[in-house]
Amino acid sequence: MNSILAHLNPGKLKKSNKIALGVLIGIGVLAILLIVANNILESRIKKGIEKNLDSANAVYEKVDVKLLDRSAEVINAAIDIRGKMLKVDTIRLNDIEILEYLTKKNIIIGDLKIANPEVKIFKLQKKDQDSSNSKKQSSLKNKIRIKSVKVSGGRLKIFEKDSANHRFYSKLRDISMEQVRIDSSSLKESVPFNYDLILLNIDSLYYDLNDLQKLYVGDLVIRNNDVKVADLQLKPKFSRSEHQQNISKETDWYDLEIDSIGISDFTWSLQNDSLKIGNSLTRIDKFNFVIYRDKLQSDDTSIKPLYSEMLRKMPVLIEIDSMSLTNGYLKYEEKIHADREPGTVDFSNMNFQINHISNVGMDSKDFPETMIRAQADFMESASLNVRWTFNIADTQDRFNIRGELGRIAAEQINEFMKPAMNVQAHGEIEDLYFNFSGGPYTAKGDMRLEYKDFKIEVLQKDGQEKNKVVSALANLIVKNKAQNSKANHKDITVERDRTKSFWNYLWNMIKNGALKAFI
């Protein structure tokens, strides 16, 4: 024991203790400095986030920053920019680039996560927007960039001013965006940020279109510039009888269902305060469309523009290269007599190919015409092929429409002729071809009609019993030529009633041609 103590030098022990104490003090001072620096930097970052939130018209409960984790959390945040409100329980920011903020005051974030946000948009009048903006303008001196944004769940609602009922509602599954950028310029836009890539997945959507119609979407996915829609429904708010009680003049009742819509290379932007949308291809598959018209209502005497004029004067700029519609069904019902069922025509197995639908660059000398090709089965029997062209840029609204209808028994068209025209026919139409060109006021063309043993029965006023005398006179007039005889008629002229639709115009072209063929 003594030998051990002899080796211990009290001077050396004293020196070692001093060194150890110095190290401990150094560590302590360094720890204090780190804590102080951490608190200072956390405070600065916190104040920076709070300042930017204030600049964006945001309110919040608190901001929590953890420098060592390079993360921040905003609790109970709500942002209001010109009637657009975002409210979330928490916003989580990860991988904050501290050096960028300290040197340039810019906020660059690696990852932002938002859970179950609720977005509300109130459609304000322009004067209300101006008044709201005059109180507090959105300004942002520095820039914000977020490398990755992920939103899970949430809802989006659009309201009319001072209304508790939403016009638009959607339930979100998730949203992913990359390279989101916010600055003072972007805050002035309708969408107050820019982005490079986006994935938007919506579980359901509802839109109150107008007083008579509402829109439903079962599923909507936007992946960058491609859009997929499933189970779209344009539904009437009222039954057919209720619909008539809610209109003051003749207005069609619509019921449309579409299985799927695919849009490729979809783009949108604002051009001179107008929304511009475009895409290379739109695909619509398996649709069912029912149109009902009650002719007992007062006529709508407003001028009906042709489709070229309607597209040319749309408030939205459109640029669609091509559109295809496949596997469609269309049923049109028209009620003319109060005591009878409506007349009906239908088209099944409908397929359309439409090329160049655009009202952009219409001053170009080589602005292309719009071409529509359609095939269908008429009354589930006769094949129908139509080719229709017009030029949206043409202010004279000239068009050409030609088509051919295959063999159909007269009894099959009685579903419309009997209730609507008080006439029923017997026999067979072998072939019908038409070719008309025209404009807003008149159309001219030719027609070929082949028929076999065609007879007409004019009915009594009740639509049931045959009027034998009038029917006999009518059949004396109708030419009953041998099978496959052709009736060709050229220079058929039709005056258009501009208070009627284009389809009424086309019907009168075919009707006038048929009358010349039969009589």
pLDDT band at 33 (very low <50, low <70, confident <90, very high): very low
Three-state DSSP state, 202: strand
Q: Residue 208 and residue 160: Cα distance in Å, rounded?
A: 11
pLDDT band at 213 (very low <50, low <70, confident <90, very high): very high
Q: Residue 53 and residue 57: Cα distance in Å, rounded?
A: 6
pLDDT at 18 over 60: no
pLDDT band at 359 (very low <50, low <70, confident <90, very high): very high
Name the amino acid, one letter, at 301.
T
423-438 vs 442-458, strand pairing mode: antiparallel
If phi over 0 gives left and psi between -120 and 50 gives alpha, with beta otherwise, what is residue 380? left
> pLDDT: is 150 or 65 the higher one?
150
Quick one: 142 exposed, middle or buried, by C-beta within 10 A (0-12, 13-18, 19+)?
middle
How far the first Cα of the chain sits from its last, in Å, is 141
- Taking residues 421-439, what's their average pLDDT? 86
Sign, CA torsion 264/311/318/81: negative
The ranges assigned to domains in the chain are 38-184, 185-518
- Taking residues 451-462, what's their average pLDDT? 68
Residue 75: per-residue pLDDT:
80
Contact 425, 411 (CB under 8 A): yes
Dihedral, 388, 380, 457, 475 alpha carbons, nearest 10: 60
Compute the chain's Rg from CA coordinates.
36
User: What's the token pair of residue 208?
Assistant: 């109150």
User: What's the token pair of residue 231?
Assistant: 């189970």
Q: Which of 101-115, 136-150, 464-478 has the highest mean pLDDT?
A: 101-115
pLDDT at 1 over 60: no
Three-state DSSP state, 6: helix
Residue 327: per-residue pLDDT:
97
Three-state DSSP state, 458: strand
Q: Where are the alpha helices (DSSP H) in 318-448?
A: 410-421
pLDDT at 510 over 80: yes
Closest CA to 207 of 226, 235, 231: 235
Computed over every residue of the chain, the mean pLDDT equals 80
Contact 280, 322 (CB under 8 A): yes
User: What's the token pair of residue 487?
Assistant: 């009736």
pTM: 0.80
- Taking residues 140-148, what's their average pLDDT? 79
Contact 499, 441 (CB under 8 A): no
Q: Residue 152 and residue 176: Cα distance in Å, rounded?
A: 9
Residue 328: per-residue pLDDT:
97
In percent, the amount of the chain with pLDDT more than 70 equals: 75
pLDDT at 255 over 70: yes
Sign, CA torsion 354/356/360/362: negative
pLDDT at 481 over 70: no
Residue 254: per-residue pLDDT:
94
Q: Residue 438 and residue 456: Cα distance in Å, rounded?
A: 31
Angle at 80 between CA 76 and CA 82, to 5 degrees: 175
Q: What is the pLDDT of residues 164-180, one digit of tens each?
A: 677 888 998 998 988 88
- Taking residues 196-212, what's their average pLDDT? 89
**Which single residue is written with the structure tokens 């295959």?**
406
Dihedral, 506, 509, 515, 516 alpha carbons, nearest 10: -150
